[in-house]
């Protein structure tokens, strides 16, 4: 495959970092965006010709247009953008923290809109490009444990669907990735076994990222979540999922 120019937002750990590694290993030029400069510098040192680090906090969306333009200039164009930044702070069963909820809205949703709107505008003018958003199986229902995390992922899914409906006729692919539990910094505190590895998740994302569809990373999730989506409200509430 021809070398492509890619932006990965949320590139300093987890799935985003693995995506940068695998894209660079196959010869793509990748702009790696996140807050932690030390992590980005370590990552860039693995493939200095391919990986360009750009420190940025997605809760500062007003800085996106200038940075986006500068990255496109340094990459020499843009073919793909992947928005992988996300936060999921621990939320107690009786906790209603506006600060935590706001942080999830800002990182998981507002930041995505700032970056992906910039890419959509550029791609519609040049007539090609791939937009990828990392959603989650968590966006499929309003679960009790994480009200706002679920909400941000459901909103991201709807936003990406709308972009897909706008942009597919212009030859632009918009892909929504819905991972299940994956072993990363985000889930390090959970006592859950059998999670997918971040490297495996990144490989699967790269295989489907140009599909222009919604994609679960585990084939069995397509069936499991079709059932979960159809569980009647009253039953779903009692299941405490
Ligand atoms: N792990 C799972 O089980 C799972 C399941 C489904 C979906 N997801 C989604 O997958 C995506 C990747 O998560 P992950 O599991 O790989 O988690 P992770 O290892 O915690 O990575 C999160 C990334 O987001 C970046 N980020 C967070 N806040 C940011 C900010 N204010 N500005 C810029 N970047 C920021 C982090 O970089 P800095 O801290 O350096 O800024 C980091 O690179 C997220 O959207 C997550 O919701 C995860």
Q: What is the pLDDT of residues 177-207, one digit of tens each?
A: 999 999 999 999 998 899 999 999 999 999 9
Rounded CA-CA distance 78/30 in Å is 10
Ligand 1 atom nearest residue 39's Cα = 40
Among 10, 19, 71, 154, residue to substitute to test ligand 1 (most atoms within 8 Å of Cβ) = 10
Residue 1's pLDDT is what?
Answer: 72
pLDDT digits (tens, 9 = 90+) for 84-122: 999 999 999 999 999 999 999 999 999 999 999 999 999
Residue 126's pLDDT is what?
Answer: 96
- The mean predicted confidence, pLDDT, of the chain is 97
pLDDT over 80 at 241, yes or no? no
The H or E element that residue 196 is part of is strand 196-197
Distance 108 CA to ligand 1 centre (A): 9
Ligand 1 atom nearest residue 201's Cα = 16
Long-range contacts of 168-173 (CB under 8 A, 24+ apart): 168/212, 170/123, 170/124, 170/127, 171/127, 171/128, 172/120, 172/123, 172/124, 172/127, 172/128, 172/129, 172/130, 172/131, 173/129, 173/130, 173/131, 173/210, 173/211, 173/212
What's the whole-number mean pLDDT along residues 159-164? 98
117: number of Cβ within 10 Å: 17
pLDDT over 90 at 55, yes or no? yes
Instruction: Determine if the pTM surpasses 0.95.
Output: yes
Distance 222 CA to ligand 1 centre (A): 23
Distance 107 CA to ligand 1 centre (A): 9
Please pick, among 83, 96, 149, 159, the residue that the annotation labels catalytic.
Answer: 149
Query: How many folded domains does the chain comprise?
Result: 1
Distance 15 CA to ligand 1 centre (A): 8
Torsion of CA 145, 148, 149, 150, to 10 degrees: 80
Residue 128: domain span = 5-239
Ligand 1 atom nearest residue 108's Cα = 45
* CATH number for the domain that contains residue 123: 3.40.50.720
Half-sphere exposure of 15 (CA within 13 A, CB side): 31
Lookup: tokens for 153: 């992922």
SS3 181: coil
Lookup: tokens for 166: 């706008």
Give yes or no for residue 35 CB within 6 A of ligand 1: yes
Phi-psi region of 14 (alpha: psi -120 to 50; beta: other; left: phi over 0): left
- Residue 96 annotated as catalytic: no
Give yes or no for residue 211 CB within 6 A of ligand 1: no
Residue 236's pLDDT band (boundaries 50, 70, 90)?
Answer: very high
pLDDT over 80 at 240, yes or no? no
Rounded CA-CA distance 182/199 in Å is 10
């Amino acid at each position: 495959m021809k070398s492509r120019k890619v932006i990965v937002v949320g590139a300093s750990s987890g799935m985003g970092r693995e995506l940068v590694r695998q894209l660079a290993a196959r010869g793509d030029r990748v702009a790696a965006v996140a807050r932690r400069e030390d992590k980005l510098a370590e990552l860039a040192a693995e493939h200095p010709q391919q990986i360009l680090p750009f420190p940025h906090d997605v809760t500062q969306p007003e800085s996106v247009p200038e940075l986006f333009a500068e990255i496109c200039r340094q990459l020499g164009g843009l073919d793909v953008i992947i928005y992988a930044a996300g936060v999921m702070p621990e939320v107690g069963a009786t906790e209603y923290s506006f600060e935590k909820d706001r942080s999830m809205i800002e990182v998981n949703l507002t930041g995505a809109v700032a970056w992906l709107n910039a890419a959509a505008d550029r791609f519609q003018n040049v007539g090609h490009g791939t937009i990828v958003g990392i959603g989650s199986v968590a966006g499929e229902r309003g679960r009790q444990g994480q009200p706002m995390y679920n909400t941000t992922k459901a909103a991201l899914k709807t936003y990406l669907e709308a972009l897909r409906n706008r942009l597919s006729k212009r030859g632009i692919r918009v892909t929504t990735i819905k991972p299940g539990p994956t072993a990363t910094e985000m889930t390090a505190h959970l006592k859950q076994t059998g999670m997918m590895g971040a490297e495996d998740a990144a490989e699967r994302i790269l295989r489907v990222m140009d599909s222009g569809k919604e994609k679960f990373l585990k084939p069995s999730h397509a069936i499991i979540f079709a059932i979960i989506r159809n569980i009647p409200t009253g039953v779903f509430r009692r299941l405490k999922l």
